[in-house]
Structure 1
Amino acid sequence: MCHSPDEQYRTYNILLILSQSCCKLLSRNSLGTTDCFGTKQQLQNTNIFIKCMIERSHLSLMENRKQNARELWNVTFYDDVPAYLSFHEPVLQSLIIFICTAGLVEAGFFIWSLGFCLKKVNMVTTYFLNLAVAEFGLFAFLLVLAALSIAECAPKLKMPVVYLLFFAYTAAVYFLTVISVERCLGVLFPIWNRTKRPTRTSSILSFLVWSTAGFLSGITMCFHYVWSYHHSVTMIRIICSGNVLILTPLVVVSSLISFIDNFSRKPLPKMLRTNQSLRLIFFIFFAMPLSFFYFMDWLGYTFPAMFMWISFLLTCINSTMNPLIHYVLGGQWKRWKSGRT
């Protein structure tokens, strides 16, 4: 049976400890005669032999780790796609490039409109402005990642782009969650929301969202450059698992509460019902598949790389549709037009 260098190294260490213990016991024995483990001289020879084997195993282990570190730079991100699926990856990447290009124009338009063309900034416009900035970064970094994957160039640049992409993705998901919870609080406590809600709450929450996303992405990048690639992937899995286990139930519960409360008080307009339904559907089936991909990977269910690119494509579609669903169908567009300079 073949054993890895790590297992051999641990085995030799255990044998060395046992041999040294026997030598100490025999040195205390004044007779120094044979024992069930052999004579004192034989144990010393065994000690020397085991030390030599440990040194050889340690050198072999370090050489294997250096070889693995060199090989990591030569592989693509999640380069484990089978041959029968590899043809579809460039197609998905091309679609991502096309959608990201359109999304950059859309996000740039909303940043310009909400950031420079409004007389007064309120809670809604603050969140949507920050969401547009996060989605602009998501489109930009995903466009670069797809282009590098198609061109198969600059492998060392690919991992920093991935970390920046997850920074923008995490911020966008957090802002979607905050918007959903704020709408729920506005429905449940309308008087408090209009009169007693602090005016700077939106700005403070936006700062906390950016700080949290930057902190998590910074830790992930530090794990990659200080320790190893595998530690950074583990951190990405933890972040995505938190999105699945915490943010998704929070969005689902807040959306259902706001929908039921609105519907119980008075009949909702058809457009508003459509808006609330689309917000929940797009968050679960378009924004969360990327987090679900890494959550299942953390549980041991490894999918081909094509599913990761499908998740990226769904994330692009979600970010493209978010301004239309949350702002246009939500009735904020008319208020925006009336508040323009």
Structure 2
Amino acid sequence: MGPTTPNWNINNTVVNESYYPENLPCTNEFNTLNFLTVIIAVVGLPGNAIVLWILAFHMNRNAFSTYVLNLAGADFLYLCTQIVCSLDCVLQLESRYFFFLYIVLMFAYLAGLCMIAAISTERCLSVMWPIWYHCQRPRHTSAIVCALLWAFCLLLSLLLGQGCGSLFSDYGYYFCTTSALIITVFVIVLSVVPSVSNLALLVKIVCGSHRIPVTRFYVTIALTVVVFLFFGLPFGIYLFFLPWIMNFEDDSNFNVYELVTCLSCISSCANPIIYFLVGSIRHRRLERKTLKFLLQRAMQDTPEEESR
């Protein structure tokens, strides 16, 4: 638990006020990690903003680019909220809207995770059952799925915030831990889905009777999933396991929280870099093209020979 983390299982009649996060001092180590988090988040905001601008106004969207657009939106919201939360700790502003910001932070994190799982699953379906996917799939499936995922993530975030006393009332320790356990299972399941999907695609590409050529879009998805598993997932696991591992008197929990927060910002910042890097590589060398062209090429789901 870090100085920017709300109290999940606090019983107001038992716990002393000195344990509240707004009364916890930010040490030099916390300030350093929070400053680093702010710097990384500020660097990552323009990349996600560019992806949002290009996909929203300058490209014809398809099934997959719709997910990428929503993922960029979730990452942008997460980075903005994390900047505010980190500055709140560094400057010791003790914002009265802190818990609301934290609900938004959880909402953006869960939405980004859902988008990664959805895009990996749909890509796997398009390869495993191409005839069904191209002939039977409803036209606006991606937009509908994204809207449902945003709504579901919002409900989960509000459930945890309400149950743990972050919004209007405190329903008690057991309701709080139950809500956190539900979201923890949800995070783990959604983390397994893209891993299994990309593993299935890899097996299909390498060992299938009809080998599938590796496309730029497959590389883009694979790199996005790998980066999230190494940098983004630790934040979700640590965050929603807090009711069981939290110890207010253990300073190591503060260091771990700030570290996983910093890593999660790296994950959100890395996605635009992956898109433009994959789009810029051609025949093992980098090409200088417009950002729109590079993003279009990264979304390319046809073999390189066929795209000429």
Q: Which amino acid aligns with 1:94?
A: F
Q: Which runs of 5+ in 2 are unaligned?
A: 1-10, 281-293, 301-308
Shift of 1:199: 0.6
Matching residue of 1:76: 21
When Rg is computed on C-alpha atoms for both structures, the one with the higher figure is 1
Q: Map 1:108-119; keep pairs closer than 5 Å.
A: 108-118=49-59
Q: Is 1:333 aligned to 2:295, yes or no? A: yes
Matching residue of 2:231: 286
Pairing partner for 1:260 from 192, 199, 203:
203
Matching residue of 2:271: 322
Note closer, same or farther for the CA distance 1:281–1:242 as it changes in structure 2 (3 Å cut): same
Shift of 1:270: 9.2
Q: Is the 8 A contact 1:271 1:329 kept in 2?
A: yes
Root-mean-square deviation (CA, aligned residues, Å) is 3.2
Q: Is 1:251 aligned to 2:197, yes or no? A: no
Per chain length, whose mean CA-contact separation is higher, i.e. which structure has more relative contact order (CA < 8 Å, sep 6+)?
2
Matching residue of 1:11: none
Matching residue of 1:196: 136
Q: C-alpha distance in 1, partners of 2:127/2:299?
A: 24
1:15-70 deviation line (CA, Å, top 9, x unaligned): xxxxxxxxxxxxxxxxxxxxxxxxxxxxxxxxxxxxxxxxxxxxxxxxx94584x8
Note closer, same or farther for the CA distance 1:296–1:210 as it changes in structure 2 (3 Å cut): closer
Note closer, same or farther for the CA distance 1:288–1:184 as it changes in structure 2 (3 Å cut): same
Report the number of matched residues: 268
Note closer, same or farther for the CA distance 1:239–1:285 as it changes in structure 2 (3 Å cut): farther
Q: Map 1:19-58; keep pairs closer than 5 Å.
A: none
Note closer, same or farther for the CA distance 1:168–1:65 as it changes in structure 2 (3 Å cut): closer
- Runs of 4+ residues deviating >6 angstroms: 270-273
Q: C-alpha distance in 2, partners of 1:93/1:319?
A: 16
Q: Map 1:156-235; keep pairs closer than 5 Å.
A: 156-223=96-163, 224=165, 225-227=168-170, 234=177
Q: C-alpha distance in 1, partners of 2:65/2:296?
A: 13
Q: C-alpha distance in 2, partners of 1:272/1:242?
A: 29
Q: Is the 8 A contact 2:114 2:149 kept in 1?
A: yes
Q: Is the 8 A contact 2:181 2:241 kept in 1?
A: no
TM-score by length of 2: 0.75
The percent identity for this pair of structures is: 25
Note closer, same or farther for the CA distance 1:160–1:260 as it changes in structure 2 (3 Å cut): same
1:106 is paired with a residue whose SS is helix
Pairing partner for 1:93 from 14, 34, 45:
34
Q: Which structure has greater helix proportion? A: 1
Q: Is the 8 A contact 1:79 1:305 kept in 2?
A: no
1:283-315 deviation line (CA, Å, top 9, x unaligned): 211111012213543444756111111111111
Q: C-alpha distance in 1, partners of 2:178/2:279?
A: 35
Matching residue of 1:313: 262
1:170-224 deviation line (CA, Å, top 9, x unaligned): 1011111101111111111122222221111101100111010111112223332
Q: Which runs of 5+ in 1 are unaligned?
A: 1-63
Note closer, same or farther for the CA distance 1:334–1:287 as it changes in structure 2 (3 Å cut): same
Matching residue of 1:103: 44
TM-score by length of 1: 0.69
1:156 is paired with a residue whose SS is coil
* Greater Cα offset, 248-257 or 155-164: 155-164
Matching residue of 2:90: 150
Q: Is the 8 A contact 1:141 1:164 kept in 2?
A: yes
Shift of 1:129: 1.0
Q: Which amino acid aligns with 1:292?
A: I
Q: Which amino acid aligns with 2:108?
A: A
Note closer, same or farther for the CA distance 1:318–1:249 as it changes in structure 2 (3 Å cut): same
